[in-house]
Amino acid sequence: MQVDEALPEVLMRIVSELHDVAYLIERIEPTISNTEHPGVLNEADRIKVLQGIDLAVQKTRGLAEFIDTITSGIPENWLVDTTVALSLVKLADMQKALSHATARHGHSQPINKASGDFEFF
């Protein structure tokens, strides 16, 4: 069944997911930068990893802002069918967040999830 949706709405759901990805990546940084328990990484490797995390956050936010900005110029009457694209998304939470049936505010990955919670795949 084909379901046509306004392209700007679809793109804004992608923007929201990209912001979530940046947020999730940022949550890793304090754990790795903790110098009290250096763990497996030596100082030089830890700095490289932290720089990589920072770059990943910047790129993710940059993509989100790029899509957000170009979306404002797309007419609402431009429609797309997301059925096939959604079927390729393997994470159930992300598939739900990207679907037209979901109107959400805030992060798709709630902060209050207990540490160690995960989804089997």
Using CA atoms, how far residue 29 sits from 50, 59, 70, in Å, is 6, 15, 30
Percent of the chain with pLDDT over 90: 58
* pTM greater than 0.85 (yes/no): no
Extents of the domains making up the chain: 4-98
Is the pLDDT confidence value at 99 over 70? yes
Q: Report the C-alpha gap between 63 and 42 in whole angstroms.
A: 31
Q: Which two tokens stand for residue 105?
A: 């505010």
| Confidence (pLDDT) at 37 | 61
Dihedral-angle region of residue 36 (phi above 0 means left; psi in -120 to 50 means alpha; beta otherwise): alpha
pLDDT digits (tens, 9 = 90+) for 24-59: 999 888 877 776 665 666 778 888 888 999 999 999
101 residue type, one letter: A
The residues with which 79 forms a beta bridge, in sequence order, are 6
